[in-house]
Amino acid sequence: MFEPIPERRRLPSVGRATRALVVVGIVVLILTAVFAALMFVQVQVGYALVLSDPWFRKDVSPVVGTGPTWYMKMPWEQPILIFYQTDTYEAVIPCFSKDQLEVKIQVLLRWSLNPAKIRELYLKYPRLDYENVAIKSITEETIRLITKKYTTVDTISLRDVVAQEIENAILNALKNEPSLASALTSVEFDLKNIEYPITYTRAIEQKLVKEQEKIAAEFERERTLILANATAQKYVLEALGQAQARLIIAGSTKEAIQLIIESAGMTNTTDTSKIAQLYLSLETLRQIAPEIGVLIVGGSGVPMILQIPQNP
């Protein structure tokens, strides 16, 4: 009455082995892909590669190379990419002058890293925080020491001198800092601005305005003196000219009278005096009325007709 239950078919052992091999192959491929991915690292432009081996050597290798390229490493090695091309540090540093006035100096530093010194720099600064730890502290300390040597007015009138001294001191300090391992190269410094308190700036502006007004007043005073001196010189020269002209006229008149007397053969003092008076009268009439050529003089006797010489 009852039918026997059929037995399950057993899979051949070959099929099980095949599936196991497939699974193992997939796992191997995945591990190989992961392993290969861990062995290659890409280095971008401007970066240098340093490999750290925390398992075996507990050290870092020298710089492997600079980008752009790919590098192969061991899977357990940790790649460290360090930017070595031009980097900058810019800050506004508050400090005090010699007369205890607070000023703010804005500076800009540029530098590059020497690839041959990157390993030593990394050993000194594993966090690559050398900018904040070394460069920033050296720059701030150097500037504050130098500004204490100059008064606020000196930082204005001797700005170039102050900037040059700060630059030389900072560059020397960075060059001789042992922790930087001489890794910095092509270091440039720029003092961009010196900012003063508003009250001091206004006081300087007012002082400059007053100085300009003083200069303008001095200029106007000198101008007035020059003009007055020129006018006085003009009058002096005119007076001298008139005096010289009178002397010349007097000399000419004297010579003319002498010639008239000599030509007339007069020796009587009274007659010569009359001739002189008559000559001077005629010269005066010629100056008063230059358009009159003939003068008739009447009196109790016979009228006299006088010919008045005209100006040439």
Per-residue pLDDT of 53-72, as tens digits, reads 877 666 677 776 676 888 87
Picking from 108, 111, 59, the residue whose alpha carbon sits closest to that of residue 80 is 59
Residue 30, domain member (yes or no): yes
More confident residue, 131 or 229: 131
pLDDT band at 2 (very low <50, low <70, confident <90, very high): very low
More confident residue, 285 or 167: 167
Choose the most confident range, by mean pLDDT, from 74-78, 167-171, 254-258, 274-278: 167-171
Q: Residue 291: pLDDT above 50? A: yes
Residue 286's SS3 state is helix
Q: Residue 167: pLDDT above 90? A: yes
Picking from 59, 94, 65, 96, the residue whose alpha carbon sits closest to that of residue 78 is 59
pLDDT band at 95 (very low <50, low <70, confident <90, very high): very high
pLDDT above 90 coverage of the chain, percent: 26
Q: pLDDT tens for residues 197-230?
A: 887 767 766 776 777 777 777 877 777 778 777 7
At 168, which amino acid appears?
Answer: N
- 202 CA to centre of own chain: 22
Instruction: Answer yes or no: do 61 and 47 share one domain.
Output: yes
Residue 5, domain member (yes or no): no
Instruction: Answer yes or no: do 187 and 253 share one domain.
Output: no
Domain boundary among 83, 110, 143: 83
Per-residue b or e along 129-154, where b marks 16 or more CB atoms closer than 10 Å to that residue's CB: ebeeebbbebbbebbeebbeebebeb
pLDDT reported for residue 147: 93
Residue in this structure with the two tokens 């800009």, named with its chain if needed: 108
Quote the radius of gyration of the chain (alpha carbons, Å): 55
At 268, which amino acid appears?
Answer: N
More confident residue, 40 or 143: 143
Spatial separation of the C-alpha atoms in residues 40 and 94, rounded to whole Å: 47
What backbone torsions phi and psi does residue 149 show, to the nearest 5 degrees?
-85, -15
Q: Please, how many CA atoms are within 13 Å of residue 174, restricted to the half-sphere of its CB?
A: 27
What average pLDDT is seen over the chain? 77
pLDDT reported for residue 302: 46
Instruction: Answer yes or no: do 144 and 75 share one domain.
Output: no
Instruction: Answer yes or no: do 53 and 154 share one domain.
Output: no
- Rounded average pLDDT over 94-99: 91
pLDDT reported for residue 58: 63
Alpha-carbon torsion (279, 283, 284, 290), positive or negative: positive
Dig out the tokens for 61 from the structure: 């290798």
Residue 2, domain member (yes or no): no
- Strand 47-53 vs strand 69-72: parallel, antiparallel, or unpaired? unpaired
Q: Provide the CATH number for the domain around residue 106.
A: 3.30.479.30
Residue 77, domain member (yes or no): yes
Q: Which residues span the domain enclosing 126?
A: 87-196
Residue 126, domain member (yes or no): yes
Q: Residue 7: pLDDT above 70? A: no
- Rounded average pLDDT over 65-85: 81
Residue 8, domain member (yes or no): no
Per-residue b or e along 224-235, where b marks 16 or more CB atoms closer than 10 Å to that residue's CB: eeeeeeeeeeee
Helix axes 198-264, 269-288, angle to 10 degrees: 130
Domain boundary among 35, 67, 83: 83
Instruction: Answer yes or no: do 72 and 104 share one domain.
Output: no
Please count the residues of the chain: 312
Residue 270, domain member (yes or no): yes
The per-residue DSSP string of 1-34 comes to -PPPPPPPPPPPHHHHHHHHHHHHHHHHHHHHHH
Instruction: Answer yes or no: do 36 and 118 share one domain.
Output: no
H or E, element range at 291: none
pLDDT band at 89 (very low <50, low <70, confident <90, very high): very high
Q: Residue 17: pLDDT above 60? A: yes
pLDDT reported for residue 270: 63
Domain count within the chain: 3
Residue 209, domain member (yes or no): no
Instruction: Answer yes or no: do 143 and 107 share one domain.
Output: yes
Instruction: Answer yes or no: do 25 and 114 share one domain.
Output: no
pLDDT band at 1 (very low <50, low <70, confident <90, very high): very low
Domain boundary among 57, 83, 109: 83
Instruction: Answer yes or no: do 107 and 182 share one domain.
Output: yes
Instruction: Answer yes or no: do 192 and 265 share one domain.
Output: no
Spatial separation of the C-alpha atoms in residues 94 and 140, rounded to whole Å: 9
Instruction: Answer yes or no: do 167 and 231 share one domain.
Output: no
Instruction: Answer yes or no: do 286 and 234 share one domain.
Output: yes
- Rounded average pLDDT over 115-127: 89
pLDDT reported for residue 267: 59
